[in-house]
Structure 1
Amino acid sequence: MSRIVKGPSGKPLALSSAGWKHSAAVRWLLLLLFVLLFYMSISPRLVPETYDLTLNAKSDKDIKAPKQLQDEKATFEAQEAAAEKIGPVYPIVALHNELLVDELFARIDQLNQEDQVTFNEKVDIFKGDIPMRVEKYVTDFVASNKGSQSYSDDLLAEMKRVVTAQSYLVPEETFYKLPKLTSDQLSAMKTVTRDIVRKLTKEPITEAETARTKVAELVNASTLPTKTERETVQELARLTIFPNKFYDKQATDEAKEQARKDAPPVVIKQGDVIVKSGQVITQDIYDQLVALEMLKERKTYWPQVGVLLFCLLFTLALYGYGELTASSAAQKRTNAQWLMLLIVFALNLLFMHLAALAHSEQWPYVGLLAPVALGSMLVTLLIDMHLGMVSALLFSLLASIVLNVEQKQVFDFHYGFVTAVVSFTAVLAIYRASQRSSILKAGIMVSLFGSIAVLALMLVDQEPDKTQIVQSIGFIFSSGLLTAVLVIGLMPFFELTFGILSALKLVELSNPNHPLLRKLLTETPGTYHHSLMVGNLSEAAAEAVGANGLLCRVGSFYHDVGKTKRPLYFIENQNGGENPHDKLEPKVSASIIIAHARDGADMLKAYKLPKQIRDIAEQHHGTTFLKYFFHKVVKQAEAQGVECAYSEDDFRYPGPKAQSKEAAIVGIADCVEAAVRSLNHPTVAQIEGIIGKIIKDRLDDHQYNECDLTLRELDKIAETLKETVIGMFHSRIEYPDDKEMKKLKEKQS
């Protein structure tokens, strides 16, 4: 049955006229406020403040950097300074000069053994062949290493140039000594020459002459016996000693370039004063302000447009998902819920900004202290889990922007990830909470899972700092506990301000020690027991059709509290004693019975119970008809031979009819429990018939016209009530098989 609200003329009123809670204009205003809230929250991070400044003018205030920015000029200067510190690179080239020594001595020995060649011819050959072989050795070395990774082409060219420039000119008389040397002498001389060359070329040599001056001393210290041998070794050693350390332009350029890359960039940190009050705006400062987009004359509105689009997407996601999940429950969300959601978002964003303000170099992770799970937990407790989930997602995105102090990117993945973990943990840990202590447990869960998330992120770092790990985990753990404390403190505010009847509040109201329930138990024990039974029936029926089962159960506990004013006028409290209605006029009796609904609502209001509970007490009978007393007054009139002075309307409850599923379900369960209790040995067929008749009578009497119950849901309610009643009254119910067994036993006896 769809709810129809009618005006004085009997025509349905538009939904927009049903008060501000359903006003379309108010709904649009709230959505606009959501957009403004998101814009005010993230625009300081994404849209820089602009100033009216000109070149060579003085600034009238201190100007701080709105975000972190690299100082390009200072960075370039630092890079060049680092490059200047890099001197020329002189790599050492291993020429293996001892191999050249071996080659020269082998050639000398070979030529000396040629008998056909005369002495003078040998001298002439040595004069041309030995210098040529030295030159060829260098040329071959360059050719064999060209294009290799060991030496660059520039280095090889420089080496050949330097070696050629510092080549040694052997005295002419040395060539006249060579043909006279025997193989044995050459062998001993080669050994000495190799040792000397190897020893001297182990050290870096830039000037060959310096190394060559040491040859004579080393030769004289050798075991060579003759002067000719020593003089010849000196000259050949000097000939084969080259420079081995050369300037490498390419390596030098690469080293300078690497120094430029390694030089840390000069960063203007967020909050750094880039212009002091009274300071002249130089070209460099002006360029910095342009780079930071802080000059009004260079102002662009694209960042504002981008932020506005972000805000619209956030709002559409929140509203669209909220309405989608509400329509699936056949219940639209009211403006009161959206206003409450707006306040929750504002509070959560406020705490984020406070944490961001506390950021400093000493406390770089203080943003983790923000109780970001607060909003998701409040939304789940006050509205439902669906909005809690989408709120958790939005809070993750917002936190990654608001807490992104360094602003290297639009979103800070670290804060976004941690916020997502703690927010979804909060929703899953709290959505079935049944007592206040559950909030503290949820806060501890938030602390634990948040700590795991932070630890994971810190360990991913290649070189995690132990101090930073401890600091981060300490902040996030404290955040979970702070979240629990804030939720416990804020819940009563929302419950009282918006009339929210949360699951936690309902569980508190179900406590038997509540003054009204104590009054019901002590003064009307029969009604108290009846209320408990109705609570069990209505809760099962409500859960079967997706209504609030907990509200039905608690509402059932209080629905007949008005009977405490005149307890003996209700049959469940008479305990088989005298019925006072036997001595009263039917109209008076009906008035007493009818009054208990209004009396109960007044008592509940006096005790400041939530409106939903009062509505159940006032509406559970709707405008139903008291047939018994009406028939009694009709019979009295017939017996007296007069026309009855009353109509059916005089014996109806004043209503209103049930305005919610919960009130209608409690009303059905109330009648079913009373009817079944009146039977001595109810059968399954009787129970099924009674439930069907009660629902049909109320349906025919139009008692469900103003609530959202459908015929399909009424069938589910009937089936659920039947199963629950059979379970509750199992020992008293006679099944058909039981009757047959009794008859069989009677026949046998």
Structure 2
Amino acid sequence: MNEKGTTKSGNVRPAKTSGWRQSPAVRWLLMGLFVLLFYFSLSPHVIPETYDMTEGSVSEKDIKAPFQIKDEKATRQAEEEAAGRIEDIYSNVSLRNEQLVEQIMYRIEQLNADDQVTTENKIEIYRSEIPKKYGDHIDLFVKANLGKGTYSDSLLEEMSYVAKEQQYTIPEETFYKMPQLASDQLIEMRNVAKEIVRKLTIDPLRDAETARMQVAELVNGSSISHRTAREIVQELSRFSIMPNRFLDKEATDEARVQAKQNTPPVVIKEGDVIVKQGETITPELYKLLSDANLLQDKQHYWPQAGLLILSLMFVLVLYAYLHQSGSISGLKPKYSNAQLLMLWLIFLINIITIQIIALTQTDSAHYAGYLAPAALGAMLITLLLDMHLAVISSFIFAVMGSMILNTGQGHIFDFKYGFFFIVISLAAVFSIHRASQRSAILKAGIMVSLFGSLAVMVTLMMSEQMDRMPFIYSITFAFAGGLLTAVLVIGLMPFFEITFGILSALKLVELSNPNHPLLRKLLTETPGTYHHSVMVGNLSEAAAEAIGADGLLCRVGSFYHDIGKTKRPNYFIENQSNIENPHDSIDPKLSKSIIVAHARDGVDMLKGYNIPKPIRDIAEQHHGTTSLKFFYHKSLKQAQEAGVDPDFTEDDFRYPGPKAQSKEAAVVGIADCVEAAVRSLRNPTVDQVEAMINKIIKSRLDDNQYNECDLTLKELDRIAQSLKESIIGIFHSRIEYPEDVKTKE
């Protein structure tokens, strides 16, 4: 055998398969089951249910919104109502009415000072020019501000129209009185009129008439004493007063548009009933169902394709790890299809528990999702399979949990649950991976509770969702979820151990208890074999760990590997204390039958006590098909002495096997033989121990005892070195070192 495990002829011996457990077809079928599990677990949360509906048909059941849906019709109605609540916006426009007074007074003063113009002409000029100045003043203001940005064009247009519409009509007799005014009177009248106009237009004014009604009172209280002057000032002041607050259509429209934009959309919340049972499908309802993609004629190819790809990605991650680690590849894969099926069941159970918790979530109690025992799967995988596989699976659980427990609207994933799941899953993995007692599961559950509560607190603090009661409930549910995880793991562990014959570290530690009935039987009935088994356990555990095999399995398997000797304890040399060896007086063939029977008897006894198969395999395979040479040569000698030809061959004196199928069985077999050989030496030296170990390993190697397990030559060297170191440590006082030998010589 070389390092790849070849036979003497150089051919690679194919790995034995055990039916469906190693079948590649079954393995691919299980990968397909993983895809289906992921797809159908997540499809209700990604792909909405569709209904066969037409306009005018009657719904046979309540149709609920699978996610938050915007109600377009109700939203438009709400927007119109919001816009309708916006009142017309009025803006102030300063028309500088004092300038109009100044212009009129200046024209009167100029014209009255011209002696070349007759009174009749002056009256005619006043009658035509003064009313026109009102409109000219407005037009000039519009022209000066048009396009400047101070006032909108629509506002200037509205101002021009309203102001001109409210123009005051000066009485006819006023024009006849104007030529009578002297220059000094006009100066006084100008100041009084400007002050009155300024005072009455300083406040917002939509209707000029309300201000004009106050002119007479202000004029009477002025310094003007001449009656005619007061009358003219009164009329000109009324004429010069204009409205200064106008409807701003552009600002009003903009405000109404803004109100529509600020109106929150009317939505149908996830889980709300869109159509009640027995309700007729109106065109509005049909459009709503169509917009929500709830009709069967609406295809959902993209969500389905995306979910399928996501499921394949999950499986690809699992397969890539299992393949790269050699767990499902190579001549002797680490995991059989039975263990892959167990992994699938763990995923199924974990997803079901999360789905159940998701059913308890409501809008007001969304924090119920923190009760989900998401670390259940990671903890079971760590205990039953592999820590690194549990870490990989933790990320898959986190992604799936963030989708299943998602309460956010318009999002596929909910970050806070994804973060929560990955924290508690990793906390579970690192808390339980060295567990050796059932109580360690409860301790790991407490760690999950603590880290889960911390993760929830951190996410709530960062999102500033610090409402007192939801905050307390969230942390409480997270803490309770860790304890629930521990309870479920403790309850499920025996199911997986018994159903799949899995030997977890916890189970192995329980089986190594000296109070186990079989070990008690071994101790009381065969104390020599018991001591031998304990020594083999110490040797094999160290050797197995040296090559990366399961050291704990080797130790416990060693405790039970010779349990069959309890049927005929006196026929085995380690139990022959102060008694005659019975083999001296019986036929060698009978002796051979008694010796080789202990392996088969041990398997039967182990089955009777429901000891897991890996330990039974060690008991059955630790001798392989090795030869009992002592009895063979004894029988051969007897035949020669009797002068007859032997009717047997060496193969008739071999153990029935099978050969070692695992590294652990091979290691226990080597340790068993080495321990017995070293015990037979009276004063062994280090060189003798080393030579004996190498001789035993080489003898079994030459006898093809390792052809059916994947031990390499390099690993056999490590086993030899480990056994040498262990034996020197155990039998330190009996083994002579080379210096001691030289001294004696």
Residues 356/550 of structure 1: CA separation in 2 closer, same or farther (3 Å cut): same
1:375 deviates by: 2.1
Partner residue, 2:537: 535
Q: Is the 8 A contact 1:146 1:153 kept in 2?
A: no
Aligned equivalents of 2:461, 2:28: Cα separation in 1: 46
Residues 197/543 of structure 1: CA separation in 2 closer, same or farther (3 Å cut): farther
Q: What secondary structure, in the 3-state scheme, does the structure 2 residue paired with 1:274 have?
A: strand
Q: Is the 8 A contact 2:547 2:715 kept in 1?
A: yes
Partner residue, 2:374: 372
Q: Is the 8 A contact 1:434 1:507 kept in 2?
A: yes
Q: TM-score, normalised by structure 1?
A: 0.83
Residues 545/136 of structure 1: CA separation in 2 closer, same or farther (3 Å cut): same
Q: Structure 1 residue 349 and structure 2 residue 342: aligned?
A: no
Q: Is the 8 A contact 1:429 1:445 kept in 2?
A: yes
Partner residue, 1:264: 264
1:704 deviates by: 0.5
The code of the aligned residue for 1:120 comes to A
Partner residue, 2:74: 74
Q: What secondary structure, in the 3-state scheme, does the structure 1 residue paired with 2:503 have?
A: coil
Q: What secondary structure, in the 3-state scheme, does the structure 2 residue paired with 1:296 have?
A: coil
Partner residue, 1:612: 614
1:621 deviates by: 1.2
Q: What secondary structure, in the 3-state scheme, does the structure 2 residue paired with 1:246 have?
A: strand
1:154 deviates by: 4.1
Partner residue, 2:113: 120
How do 1:2-401 residues align onto structure 2 when only pairs under 5 Å count?
A: 18-92=18-92, 95=94, 120=113, 142=145, 146-147=148-149, 152=152, 154-155=154-155, 158-159=158-159, 162=162, 179-180=183-184, 193=195, 197=198, 201=202, 203-214=203-214, 243-299=243-299, 301-325=301-325, 326=327, 331-401=333-403
Aligned equivalents of 2:729, 2:205: Cα separation in 1: 105
How do 1:555-594 residues align onto structure 2 when only pairs under 5 Å count?
A: 555-574=557-576, 579-594=581-596
How do 1:665-704 residues align onto structure 2 when only pairs under 5 Å count?
A: 665-704=667-706
Residues 199/557 of structure 1: CA separation in 2 closer, same or farther (3 Å cut): farther
1:549 deviates by: 1.5
1:199 deviates by: 8.9
Partner residue, 1:601: 603
Q: Which runs of 5+ in 2 are unaligned?
A: none
How do 1:625-664 residues align onto structure 2 when only pairs under 5 Å count?
A: 625-638=627-640, 646-664=648-666
Aligned equivalents of 2:180, 2:668: Cα separation in 1: 132
What whole-Å deviation, never above 9, does each CA across 1:364-416 have from its counterpart, x for those lacking one? 33333222222222222222223323322222232233333666233333333
What whole-Å deviation, never above 9, does each CA across 1:707-739 have from its counterpart, x for those lacking one? 111112212222222233333334444333444
1:207 deviates by: 2.6
Aligned equivalents of 1:642, 1:503: Cα separation in 2: 56
Q: What secondary structure, in the 3-state scheme, does the structure 1 residue paired with 2:274 have?
A: strand
Q: Is the 8 A contact 1:142 1:160 kept in 2?
A: no
The code of the aligned residue for 2:413 comes to F
Aligned equivalents of 1:342, 1:322: Cα separation in 2: 14
Residues 235/516 of structure 1: CA separation in 2 closer, same or farther (3 Å cut): farther
Q: Is the 8 A contact 1:323 1:333 kept in 2?
A: no
What whole-Å deviation, never above 9, does each CA across 1:473-506 have from its counterpart, x for those lacking one? 3333222222221111111111111111112111
1:555 deviates by: 0.9
Q: Structure 1 residue 714 and structure 2 residue 716: aligned?
A: yes
Aligned equivalents of 1:363, 1:526: Cα separation in 2: 65
Q: What secondary structure, in the 3-state scheme, does the structure 2 residue paired with 1:331 have?
A: coil
What whole-Å deviation, never above 9, does each CA across 1:226-265 have from its counterpart, x for those lacking one? 7899999988987886645332223222221222222222
1:464 deviates by: 4.5
Q: TM-score, normalised by structure 2?
A: 0.83
The code of the aligned residue for 1:386 comes to H
Q: Is the 8 A contact 2:95 2:244 kept in 1?
A: no
Partner residue, 2:495: 493
Q: Is the 8 A contact 1:138 1:160 kept in 2?
A: no
Greater CA drift, 430-439 or 655-664? 430-439
Of residues 541, 546, 549, the one that matches 2:548 is 546
Q: What secondary structure, in the 3-state scheme, does the structure 1 residue paired with 2:113 have?
A: helix
Residues 89/635 of structure 1: CA separation in 2 closer, same or farther (3 Å cut): same
Q: Is the 8 A contact 2:215 2:237 kept in 1?
A: yes
Q: Is the 8 A contact 1:108 1:178 kept in 2?
A: no
What whole-Å deviation, never above 9, does each CA across 1:334-370 have from its counterpart, x for those lacking one? 2212222222222222223222322333323333322
Of residues 409, 414, 419, the one that matches 2:421 is 419
What whole-Å deviation, never above 9, does each CA across 1:291-327 have from its counterpart, x for those lacking one? 2333334455554444434433333333343333215
Aligned equivalents of 2:276, 2:467: Cα separation in 1: 36
Aligned equivalents of 2:288, 2:136: Cα separation in 1: 64
What whole-Å deviation, never above 9, does each CA across 1:639-682 have from its counterpart, x for those lacking one? 56555565323332222111111000111112222223333443
Q: Is the 8 A contact 2:540 2:668 kept in 1?
A: yes
Q: Is the 8 A contact 2:670 2:696 kept in 1?
A: yes
Q: Is the 8 A contact 2:569 2:575 kept in 1?
A: yes
Q: What secondary structure, in the 3-state scheme, does the structure 1 residue paired with 2:281 have?
A: coil
Q: Is the 8 A contact 1:146 1:156 kept in 2?
A: no
Q: Is the 8 A contact 2:154 2:248 kept in 1?
A: yes
1:44 deviates by: 2.5
Q: Is the 8 A contact 1:167 1:239 kept in 2?
A: yes
- Identity among equivalent positions (%) equals 57
Residues 645/253 of structure 1: CA separation in 2 closer, same or farther (3 Å cut): same
Q: Which runs of 5+ in 1 are unaligned?
A: none
Q: Is the 8 A contact 2:201 2:244 kept in 1?
A: no
Greater CA drift, 544-553 or 717-726? 717-726
Q: What secondary structure, in the 3-state scheme, does the structure 1 residue paired with 2:255 have?
A: helix
Aligned equivalents of 1:178, 1:618: Cα separation in 2: 141
Q: Is the 8 A contact 1:105 1:186 kept in 2?
A: no
Greater CA drift, 380-389 or 493-502? 380-389
Greater CA drift, 259-268 or 483-492? 259-268
Alignment root-mean-square deviation, CA: 4.3
1:607 deviates by: 1.3
Q: What secondary structure, in the 3-state scheme, does the structure 1 residue paired with 2:398 have?
A: helix
Aligned equivalents of 1:43, 1:272: Cα separation in 2: 20
Partner residue, 1:525: 527
Q: Is the 8 A contact 2:64 2:270 kept in 1?
A: yes
Residues 495/538 of structure 1: CA separation in 2 closer, same or farther (3 Å cut): same
Aligned equivalents of 2:464, 2:543: Cα separation in 1: 58
Q: Is the 8 A contact 1:50 1:299 kept in 2?
A: no
The code of the aligned residue for 2:38 comes to F
Of residues 424, 427, 431, the one that matches 2:433 is 431
The code of the aligned residue for 1:404 comes to N
Residues 237/25 of structure 1: CA separation in 2 closer, same or farther (3 Å cut): same
1:587 deviates by: 3.9
Aligned equivalents of 1:378, 1:472: Cα separation in 2: 25
Q: Is the 8 A contact 2:423 2:452 kept in 1?
A: yes
1:441 deviates by: 2.3
The code of the aligned residue for 1:417 comes to F
Q: Is the 8 A contact 1:193 1:236 kept in 2?
A: no
Q: Is the 8 A contact 2:376 2:488 kept in 1?
A: yes
The code of the aligned residue for 1:313 comes to M
Q: Is the 8 A contact 2:95 2:141 kept in 1?
A: no
